Amino acid sequence: MPATSDFFGRVQRLTEAFLTGRKRRKRILKEKQRKKNIIVDWVEAFLWAAGVVLLVNQYLFQAYQIPSGSMIDTLLIGDHIFVNKIIYGPELLPGLGKLPSPVRPARNDVIIFENPDYVSRGPVFDIAQRVIYMLTLSLVDIDRDESGQPKPHFLIKRAAGMGGDRFVTEKGNMLVRFAGADQWITEGEYKTARNWNHTLSRLVSEGEYPAIEASGRAAAYADMGLPPPPGLPDAASGRARYSDTFAAGMARLETLRSLAPGDERYRRLLARERMGWYVPGGRVFPLGDNRDNSRDGRFFGPVREAKVLGRGAVIYWPLRRAGVIR
């Protein structure tokens, strides 16, 4: 009997050890599974949220950060805005095709469009840059130049001209002759007549133009290898905090034309400058509200409507500037 009792005792202990071990293994496995599910849940939640952000940014409203002062005072450097992307037809994929829309860009709309001067690093990088930019709500931009500054892949300006319009500039002020019209009108007069209250900021004052134009004339004499007339160098070195590329360029071409009246090249260049800018059908002429500090349609010409990606909707940050963009 003692031997039998010892046998059953050992069986009982082995059974208890087996069952305890199995229970422990199940508990450990269950704990690992529970931890694994938390990680999976977080990943799934992140991917779902990221997908929603991408869909909203791509097809409805995209976050965008203002990188320069070209739209002062309408938009300031560092403003975070939402762009209405559905209004003109959103892109199917970043940089690829657009869905149709019955709405076309209208005069005075604040539009965002692809920079005509932008040099792409390839479609894969472009898509990756735009996805990261959208996921981070414009906080992270991996497309930067050698100095670490974001490259201007997209520009935001005001649609100042539409198909058939013609523009010229006089001392930095834009004059427009609308399609079908036979008279020129200043942009300021048209803005007042339409009761538009946005500000057209200027850095160059009218009193600085004599020095700016003198610098253009002095450049013409230097181009021709001729000594400038007495007093011109002093006039060209007059007080001018900023320059007007177009006014100085016009003065230079007019002087070159007078110094070399037989040179057909100067005649053609001067005639082209005097004609100003013509906006073909299906295009818009974008201008920055900060006219003396904006690289816009005056430099790269009218932009195709198909390249207009959306319209500025609201400023959402900083809160003190929150409001509708007009």
| Segment 154-191, tens digit of pLDDT | 899 999 999 999 999 998 899 999 998 889 999 888 98
| Segment 224-266, tens digit of pLDDT | 999 999 999 888 887 777 889 999 999 999 999 999 999 999 9
Instruction: Quote the radius of gyration of the chain (alpha carbons, Å).
Output: 33
Supply 232's token pair: 């011109």
DSSP bridge pairs for 304: 283
The pLDDT score that the predictor gives to residue 97 is 79
The pLDDT score that the predictor gives to residue 152 is 84
Supply 138's token pair: 């414009």
- pTM of the complete model beyond 0.85: no
Count of all residues that appear for the chain in the document:
326
pLDDT (average), residues 86-102: 85
Supply 240's token pair: 């001018």
pLDDT (average), residues 5-10: 57
Q: Does the pLDDT at position 69 exceed 90? A: yes
Q: Does the pLDDT at position 304 exceed 90? A: yes
CA angle 166-171-175, nearest 5°?
25
Supply 204's token pair: 């160059």
Q: At how many degrees (to 10) do helices 245-259 and 264-275 cross?
A: 150
128: burial class by Cβ within 10 Å (0-12, 13-18, 19+)? middle
69: burial class by Cβ within 10 Å (0-12, 13-18, 19+)? middle
The pLDDT score that the predictor gives to residue 28 is 67
